[in-house]
Structure 1
């Protein structure tokens, strides 16, 4: 019996299933509203990432989906779990290009989308980060070169958060560095950094629902976002710590 796991749904979206298996999966999806929503997210993500990484040579470790010859589904390398985990947030982080040069309601709507889909991928445990924290030096060099600034990972252990790893997201031609942190019995939080047309803006807190809290600010030509299930006090503390870190770094 086929179960609609995220890997099956990603394989379905990628066109990796045989015709018979595809028909069975489609029949199951037609009766499963949650699976339908996930398929839409995965399809939207695939379109964005194919546009973003249409160059003949793609950067290493970029989360991406590619069209492959059709075949029966078989277990795939571990990065597919990362695609499933990251897919939802990638789709809505793609809106960052829209809000980088605009504020007010546009940014508030964007932050609501980020929070809504962070609440989805934050449930992941095994495939939370594309590159693990054990490769911190590589993450700093790799993601820093992509976003055009010297990048050092903020140490948030004093605030109770351990660095888990990172990944590269993208919207069109704009790279987004995502650093992920975990704490025992808490949902993960994310720090996202992407180039911005605004040289500077003060931290603005957002209450986008879904049990999430978020803050965004511009500094030195980059947009910074912290999002997670955090109290106002925790968010303020983390914002101060991250801002001080990048002023010194």
Structure 2
């Protein structure tokens, strides 16, 4: 007595492809009749297969490109290698093209920003992340300014000072350490109690360790950035430049007197 072997997934997929011999096909059909849940799955897969074949039929019926003709491929493999002088000429052309492309793309592939330009962008990025945070914009609040100053000074290995801008209507909120591409920086935040916040970023400078105050703009964020004694400072915010510039001047005077 011959016992039919169990129906496997391979049998079911071969059934979809129409690749079973008549005896095995009959066994699979009996199995599907006894297992309607499997039959529904196989019917769905068969429908998907038919849809794919219909979608790609026009491409499948296209003639094979001449470049993929087997005789052409064999002939290309047997063709002698390119003479040395031709290869050398091609290398020279590629090198020249590469040099020209490099010159044309010199601005795109330029060295990343450095100095006060980089600091201004980093300050704007810190503003975009933290100034909009209404729950925890700063890590250490103004009530613990001494602790904040020690924390930032220790991480920067430089003593920092916190300017007082209250005379100009901006109270000190507190601050935190933030990462930058040039190492850690101290972020100080101010608020005018009407929803406008300012951020001052301070960090050691590898380039432009002493630089005059310069304006900047990154999107809607204006700023004034300078460096003195190896530390860079950037005061940024949404305030108009004629409002922000006096605040930056006041901060610089206080920092100069404190250092």
Q: TM-score, normalised by structure 2?
A: 0.51
- Show CA shifts across 1:73-103 (max 9, x none): xxxxxxxxxxxxxxxxxxxxxxxx95334x6
Which deviates more from structure 2 when the two are superposed, residues 179-188 or residues 152-161? 179-188
In the alignment, what sits opposite 2:209?
199
Contact 1:147–1:193 under 8 Å retained in 2:
no
Partner residue of 2:114 out of 83, 100, 112: 100
Unaligned stretches of 5+ residues in structure 2:
1-110
Where do 1:117-156 residues align within 5 Å? 118-119=127-128, 121-156=130-165
Give the distance between the partners of 1:111 and 1:173, measured in 2 at CA: 12
**Structure number having the greater helix percentage:** 2
Unaligned stretches of 5+ residues in structure 1:
1-96
In the alignment of these two chains, the number of paired residues is 147
Q: Which has the higher contact order (CA 8 A, sep 6+)?
A: 1
**Do structure 1's residue 183 and structure 2's residue 195 form an aligned pair?**
no
In the alignment, what sits opposite 2:233?
224
Task: Indicate the structure (1 or 2) with the bigger Cα radius of gyration.
Answer: 2
Distance 1:167 1:112, change over 3 A: closer
Partner residue of 1:238 out of 242, 247, 258: 247
Give the distance between the partners of 1:196 and 1:173, measured in 2 at CA: 8
- Show CA shifts across 1:16-71 (max 9, x none): xxxxxxxxxxxxxxxxxxxxxxxxxxxxxxxxxxxxxxxxxxxxxxxxxxxxxxxx
Task: Report the alpha carbon displacement of residue 161 of structure 1 after superposing the two structures with TM.
Answer: 0.6
SS in 2 for 1:124: coil
Contact 2:162–2:255 under 8 Å retained in 1:
no
Partner residue of 1:160 out of 144, 165, 169: 169
Give the distance between the partners of 2:138 and 2:155, measured in 1 at CA: 17
SS in 2 for 1:143: helix
Where do 1:25-104 residues align within 5 Å? 98-101=112-115
Kindly report the root-mean-square deviation, in angstroms, between the aligned alpha carbons of the 2 structures. Answer: 2.4
Contact 1:168–1:176 under 8 Å retained in 2:
yes
